[in-house]
């Protein structure tokens, strides 16, 4: 069973080293899951992972949080992760300022989806990510915009406007893309690397550019 998991040219020694590393992840996960609101199954936690306010975290089966990731779970609608979700190295999930201020709304991620390494998920407004969504390295998603209508006071004093962000099932968000507040990305869409998405993307679209525009359809 284990051998079938490691396909191709994996040597016996490399499989052993990998299993030893995962065993350490498993032991960390056994400890961390005690503090979760819910954990449906296996939890693997990398080194130097920071999970704050874990009682607001609901996890499905086979959660993987890789090295140095940070998850702030203090949110009105919690942080809800489906089955087989992976949070990549150095990724940040942050619904609000970790030093106080207004509490954010939260995040929901569906089954078989992942946040890539160095990703930033700013879920002060609500963010919903569907099933089988691939989010590549260094992707940023923001569910708020700073208000800057007035020039007589600082922008910091004017606060923010929170908006819903939704990425539907079976999307691929390529590396270094930015998804801005109020956007819905339709099912089966591809967002090209380095794009900035400012408007809704129809289902099964291929979008690219700054700002992102639909350049083709998968259908």
Q: What is the DSSP letter of 45?
A: E
Q: Which residues contact 8 (CB under 8 A, 6 or more apart)?
A: none
Nearest 5°: phi and psi at 162?
-90, 140
Angstrom distance (rounded) from CA 130 to CA 134:
10
Residue with tokens 């130097």: 48
How many angstroms separate the CA atoms of 36 and 83, rounded? 15
- Tally the C-alpha atoms within 13 A of residue 54's C-alpha that lie toward its C-beta: 14
Q: Which is catalytic among the residues 21, 47, 146, 199? A: 146
Q: Is 131 a catalytic residue?
A: no
Catalytic residues: 146
């Amino acid at each position: 069973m284990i051998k079938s998991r490691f396909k191709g040219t994996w040597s016996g020694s490399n499989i052993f080293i990998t299993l030893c590393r995962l065993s350490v992840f498993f032991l960390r996960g056994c400890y961390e899951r005690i503090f979760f609101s819910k954990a449906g199954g296996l939890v693997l936690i990398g080194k130097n992972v920071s999970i704050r306010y874990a009682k607001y975290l609901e996890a499905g089966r086979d959660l993987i949080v890789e090295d140095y990731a940070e998850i702030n779970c203090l949110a009105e609608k919690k942080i809800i992760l489906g089955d087989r979700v992976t949070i990549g190295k150095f990724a940040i999930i942050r619904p609000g300022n970790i030093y106080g201020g207004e509490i954010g709304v939260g995040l929901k991620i569906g089954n078989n989806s992942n946040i890539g390494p160095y990703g930033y998920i700013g879920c002060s407004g609500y963010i919903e990510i569907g099933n089988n969504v691939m989010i590549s390295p260094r992707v940023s998603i923001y569910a708020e915009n700073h208000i800057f209508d007035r020039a007589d006071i600082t922008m910091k004093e004017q606060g923010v406007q929170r908006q819903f962000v939704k990425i539907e099932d079976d999307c691929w968000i390529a590396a270094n893309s930015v998804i801005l507040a109020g956007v819905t990305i339709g099912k089966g869409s591809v967002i090209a690397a380095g794009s900035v998405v400012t408007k809704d993307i129809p289902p099964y679209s291929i979008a690219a550019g700054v700002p992102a525009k639909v350049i083709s359809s998968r259908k």
